[in-house]
């Protein structure tokens, strides 16, 4: 058992933008150990992304209520003040999004964007060192000719390359937790496998704990040890990936497993 | 530089030339050249009167003729376009600068703050900008810089609206979310992450605004506010010349033509910049 670095208990999220309050996440619990990869799986609207946004401290502050606790580094991310939250964001907790095409600022150079969180959290690092680290990180995420890519703009890169850039930007501060919100959904299958492999490599080499969110159970099975299955804002099943796969307890999980396309070659 | 020059060549993909950019650059270049030359050299003193040479027509000696006090119109145009240009530049600097900040804050933060700010801006927009600047001129007094400040303030609302619209469009983009997640402060997101994305729109509205500033200044000078005699901006000279519209049409027309060229040059430039993107 490693150290628990993130402890989410009884997370409730409720929207108020319609007449009736709408519960999107209910009784969400998650314990994340150092260097662990946890998968969250569920259909669209099951609350998996909302939970992740809450952990990342990205929930908008109006029109919703949040309850519960998200303990990280001795602070409750749900209630701590903005300053404190900001000091974690990008440095200790990073996130990559689903859509690599729009996640990069179209008018800024790739290198600049990779460096941004260093610029924010580590002012003491000078320009040269920043560039060195950015190039090193870009090489680590498998971008060829990082020196050249450093001076390119997002529109010159393919979707897979952009997602690598996003990972480089998220990992440059060597965060303790990386939240990957469907990072491969917008990519084609071969690139998907490469990105998953890359995340595994980052986890192995840097010891970053990863929360991997997906609706694709086969990806989760490849990457994670532990899985949380969500439906309509509730956790319906949780446990070791192989156990959940072999002996799914809930009908919903069985349905999800049955939905994995099988290739029958015979 | 090479990249800059290639903007004027025919686009290989579409086979089209950015004519607006080309014409705009040429016309603006001519005006700027006139202004710069006017700093160092004018054929005659712009203020020296010559009672024996009143209201002369176009000749080799006076290429735009002389005015009702015998001053060389061309020399006065060289001098006056500098004043006009200075006023227009300051107007845009104030209007676009303040307008951008207000629009950016209102667009990014939105909510109650954004609504209240924009309603105040709307109230300012409800007045014609000439009228608004007249009010400010009566507060600040007359003079070149006072007029620039007054015009600048009356230009704030339109820039605030444009920039707010752009920020509303950009603030929910994924890359803004990413920046927020990296722990970037709101101020830095506004000015470093989002603002560069609005430059395209901002730049062409600056060009249009520049035109309006030239025209508004001419309008104010026409009413006798602005640069004080014996110096004159283009608008003031036009208002002086209107009394001789029939007895000496070349006087009015030559000054009017310079204003037209200036405005045309900047609007072509604005249109050309818009088409680059």
- Parallel, antiparallel or unpaired: strands A177-181 and A209-214: parallel
pLDDT beyond 80 at B16: no
pLDDT beyond 60 at B166: yes
Summary mean pLDDT of chain B: 84
pLDDT range class, residue B108, cuts 50, 70, 90: very high
- CB pair distance less than 8 Å for A90 and B182: yes
pLDDT at A174: 86
Question: What are the pLDDT digits (tens) for B178-207?
Answer: 888 888 888 999 999 999 999 888 887 888
What is the chain B residue with the closest CA to A170?
B182
Question: What are the pLDDT digits (tens) for A178-236?
Answer: 998 888 877 788 888 888 888 888 888 888 899 998 888 888 888 888 888 888 888 88
- CB pair distance less than 8 Å for A169 and B182: yes
Q: Is the ipTM of this complex over 0.90?
A: no
- CB pair distance less than 8 Å for B183 and A88: yes
Which runs of consecutive H residues, i.e. helices, occur in A24-88?
48-56, 82-88
Tell me the C-alpha to C-alpha distance, in Å, between residue B211 and each of A5, A146, B115, B203, B265: 60, 45, 29, 13, 9
What is the chain A residue with the closest CA to B175?
A103
- CB pair distance less than 8 Å for A121 and B183: yes
pLDDT beyond 60 at A107: yes
What is the chain A residue with the closest CA to B196?
A107
Q: Closest Cα of chain A to B78: distance in Å?
A: 40
pLDDT range class, residue A63, cuts 50, 70, 90: low
User: Looking at beta carbons, which residues of chain B come within 8 Å of A59?
Assistant: none
What is the chain A residue with the closest CA to B188?
A120
User: Looking at beta carbons, which residues of chain A come within 8 Å of B187?
Assistant: none
Distance CA B265, CA B242 (A): 24
pLDDT at A80: 80
Which runs of consecutive H residues, i.e. helices, occur in chain A?
48-56, 82-88, 110-121, 127-140, 146-150, 159-171, 189-206, 217-223, 241-246, 251-258
pLDDT at A131: 92
pLDDT at B1: 64
User: Looking at beta carbons, which residues of chain A come within 8 Å of B175?
Assistant: 102-106
- The encoded tokens of residue A248 equal 């799914």
Distance CA B60, CA B46 (A): 17
User: Looking at beta carbons, which residues of chain A come within 8 Å of B177?
Assistant: 58, 97, 103
With beta carbons less than 8 A apart as the criterion, state whether B183 and A88 touch: yes
Strand partners, A7: A31, A71
pLDDT at B101: 95
Question: What are the pLDDT digits (tens) for B35-82?
Answer: 898 888 877 777 777 777 777 777 777 777 777 777 888 888 888 888
User: Looking at beta carbons, which residues of chain B come within 8 Å of A54?
Assistant: none
- CB pair distance less than 8 Å for A105 and B197: yes
- CA A213 from centroid of its chain's CA atoms: 7
pLDDT beyond 60 at A1: no
Question: What are the pLDDT digits (tens) for A133-161?
Answer: 999 889 888 888 899 999 999 988 988 88
- CB pair distance less than 8 Å for B184 and A107: no
Residue-by-residue DSSP string for A192-258: HHHHHHHHHHHHHHH--EEEEEES-HHHHHHH-SEEEEEETTEEEEEEEHHHHHHS--SHHHHHHHH
- CB pair distance less than 8 Å for A169 and B185: no
pLDDT at B187: 92
């Amino acid at each position: 058992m490693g150290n628990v670095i993130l402890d989410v208990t009884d997370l409730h999220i409720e929207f108020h933008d319609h007449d009736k309050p709408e519960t999107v996440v209910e009784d969400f619990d998650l314990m994340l150990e150092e260097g662990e990869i946890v998968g969250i799986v569920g259909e669209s609207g099951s609350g998996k992304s909302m939970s992740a946004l809450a952990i990342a401290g990205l929930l908008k502050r109006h029109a919703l209520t949040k309850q519960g606790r998200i303990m990280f580094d001795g602070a409750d991310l749900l209630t701590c003040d903005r300053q404190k939250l900001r000091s974690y964001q990008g440095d200790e907790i990073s996130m990559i999004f689903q859509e690599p095409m729009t996640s990069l600022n179209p008018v800024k150079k790739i290198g600049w964007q990779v460096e941004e969180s260093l610029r924010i959290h580590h002012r003491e690092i000078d320009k040269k060192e920043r560039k060195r680290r950015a190039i090193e990180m870009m090489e680590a995420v498998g971008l060829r000719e990082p020196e050249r890519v450093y001076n390119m703009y997002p529109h010159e890169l393919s979707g897979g390359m952009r997602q690598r850039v996003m990972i480089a930007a998220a990992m440059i501060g060597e965060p303790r937790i990386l939240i990957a919100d469907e990072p491969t959904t917008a990519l084609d299958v071969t690139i998907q496998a490469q990105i998953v492999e890359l995340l595994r490599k980052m986890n192995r080499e840097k010891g970053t704990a990863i929360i991997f969110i997906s609706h694709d159970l086969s990806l989760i099975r490849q990457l994670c040890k532990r899985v949380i299955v969500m439906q309509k804002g509730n956790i319906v099943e949780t446990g070791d990936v192989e156990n959940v796969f072999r002996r799914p307890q809930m009908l919903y999980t069985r349905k999800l497993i049955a939905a994995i396309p099988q290739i029958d070659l015979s | 530089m090479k990249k800059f020059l290639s903007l004027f060549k025919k686009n290989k993909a579409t086979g089209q030339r950015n004519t607006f950019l080309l014409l705009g650059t040429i016309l603006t270049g001519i005006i700027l050249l006139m202004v710069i030359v006017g700093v160092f050299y004018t054929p005659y003193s712009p203020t020296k009167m010559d009672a024996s040479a009143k209201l002369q027509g176009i000749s080799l000696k006076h290429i735009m003729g002389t005015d009702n006090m015998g001053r060389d119109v061309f020399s006065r145009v060289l001098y006056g376009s500098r004043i006009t240009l200075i006023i227009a530049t300051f107007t845009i600097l104030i209007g676009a600068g303040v307008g951008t900040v207000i629009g950016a804050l209102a667009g990014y933060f939105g909510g109650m703050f954004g609504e209240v700010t924009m309603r105040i801006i709307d109230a300012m927009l409800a007045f014609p900008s000439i009228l608004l600047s007249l009010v400010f001129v009566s507060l600040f007094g007359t003079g070149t810089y006072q007029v620039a400040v007054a015009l600048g303030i009356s230009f704030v609302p339109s820039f605030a609206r444009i920039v707010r619209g752009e920020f509303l469009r950009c603030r929910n983009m994924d890359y803004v979310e990413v920046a927020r997640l990296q722990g970037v402060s709101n101020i830095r997101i506004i000015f470093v992450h989002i603002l560069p994305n609005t430059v395209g729109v901002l730049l062409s509205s600056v060009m249009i605004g520049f035109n309006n500033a030239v025209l508004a200044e001419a309008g104010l000078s026409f009413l006798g506010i602005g640069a004080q005699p014996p110096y004159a901006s283009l608008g003031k000279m036009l208002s002086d010349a209107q009394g001789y519209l029939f007895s000496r049409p070349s006087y009015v027309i030559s000054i009017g033509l310079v204003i037209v060229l200036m405005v045309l040059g900047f609007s072509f430039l604005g249109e050309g910049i818009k088409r680059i993107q």
